[in-house]
Amino acid sequence: MEHPENDDLYKGLKVNKGIADVPTVNPYMKKRVQRKSYTPAEYVEGILKGNITVLSQAVTLVESAKHEHQQVAQEIIEKCLPYAGKSMRIGITGVPGAGKSTSIDVFGMHLLEKGHKLAVLAIDPSSERSKGSILGDKTRMEALSREKNAFIRPSPSAGSLGGVARKTRETIVLCEAAGFDTVFVETVGVGQSETAVHSMVDFFLLIQLAGTGDELQGIKRGIMEMADGIIINKADGDNIDKAKLAATQFRNALHLFPPSESGWFPKVLTYSGYYNLGIKEIWDMVEEYMQFTKQNGYFDYKRNEQAKYWMYESINDTLRDKFYNNPAVAAHLATAEQQVLRNELSSFVAAKQMIDLFLANLGAYHD
Ligand code: GDP
């Protein structure tokens, strides 16, 4: 192109000849932007082949709030179910700072060395508030995140605890169908989410810390009762004796609990995630538990009970969802609430009116 500025008569700045534009900024960009969408059968085929990209996309559908995504997701889950159920499902909980990510990283590497394939999932209902999950973040599990036999997925972020937990439970099915024989479900040990995790795993591992003075304080009795193994982290350096003392205190406390349904007496071990000490013993314990409960029938019994639990959870979830997304209900709910607040209507009458309205408008639904 001719530049008039380069004419001798032109007194302004000279403009150098430019170079031709490159055809596109990044020739690979297109490939990445265009996300291939598959039919449910293609999803299932990819998952069964262990294709991680397809698995990730299917999990995204499971997590989606969109009605049409859910329909596809449910079809995929149903087709994957016959191939699922064969993994060892382990719940891992502990307060922030207990060392969950450090521990999961070393536990995971230990399992991979033994030839396992590991999926790390999370339930973190608080992530809705922070708009992004704090759990399952790849950078938190540095070694594992580089391994092709490890699949790390952050917590689904939207919805109620029940909704988040259900999505994680469904993701387990897909991971198992994709060939992952061990599944970790991580949660922060501070709220209700432990109960949800407990209802989807075979073994519940509680990470504790020593050296905080009164070790048993702040731990809800319910969480301890759920634990099949209590592991005391950071048993290294000056902290070893304190960790051992804490272990004794936990053992004593556990003796006060009624015997567990499984017939298994929870073990208490000390370890160091950071220095990779005592890890083998923890996995020997988990394997011993699996063997023990498979032999006495508790393993299958618990899985059946969990399946029943999730059926009811799913029914409750769906009904709640359909109710609150019903346009007729949505249009009148705020008014009914006001009437209740002003004592013009009793709570029960208002509830009945809303339910009647819902039942009269059953066909209507929107996302
Ligand atoms: P999370 O919040 O439960 O996931 O805990 P992190 O794994 O992020 O660990 C919290 C802090 O404790 C980090 O600074 C870790 O380096 C440290 N930590 C984790 N495991 C150990 C351990 O075994 N020994 C010691 N001394 N520090 C540890």
Instruction: Over range 40-44, report the average pLDDT.
Output: 95
pLDDT per residue as tens digits for the range 51-83? 999 999 999 999 988 889 989 999 999 999 999
For ligand 1, say whether the CB of 142 is within 6 Å of any of its atoms.
no
CA of 277 to the centre of ligand 1 (A): 13
Instruction: Over range 262-267, report the average pLDDT.
Output: 95
- The residue whose CA is least distant from atom 5 of ligand 1 is 99
Report residue 132's pLDDT band, with 50, 70 and 90 as the boundaries. very low
Report residue 202's pLDDT band, with 50, 70 and 90 as the boundaries. very high
Q: For all residues of the chain together, what is the average pLDDT?
A: 86
Determine if the pTM surpasses 0.95.
no
For ligand 1, say whether the CB of 99 is within 6 Å of any of its atoms.
yes
Beta bridge partners of 75: none
Instruction: Over range 231-241, report the average pLDDT.
Output: 93
pLDDT per residue as tens digits for the range 158-181? 567 777 888 999 999 999 999 999
Q: Which residue has the higher pLDDT, 343 or 129?
A: 343
**Strand, coil or helix: what is 29?**
helix
CA of 167 to the centre of ligand 1 (A): 28
- The residue whose CA is least distant from atom 15 of ligand 1 is 99
How far apart (Å, rounded) are the C-alpha atoms in residues 288 and 276? 21
Cα dist from 133 to 114, 130, 153, 319, 324, whole Å:
30, 7, 10, 27, 25
285 neighbors 252 (Cβ within 8 angstroms): no
**Strand, coil or helix: what is 225?**
helix
Give the model's pLDDT for residue 66.
86
Cα dist from 200 to 19, 112, 122, 302, whole Å:
61, 22, 12, 9
For ligand 1, say whether the CB of 236 is within 6 Å of any of its atoms.
yes
Report residue 50's pLDDT band, with 50, 70 and 90 as the boundaries. very high
CA of 119 to the centre of ligand 1 (A): 21
Report residue 318's pLDDT band, with 50, 70 and 90 as the boundaries. confident
Q: Is the pLDDT of residue 1 over 60?
A: no
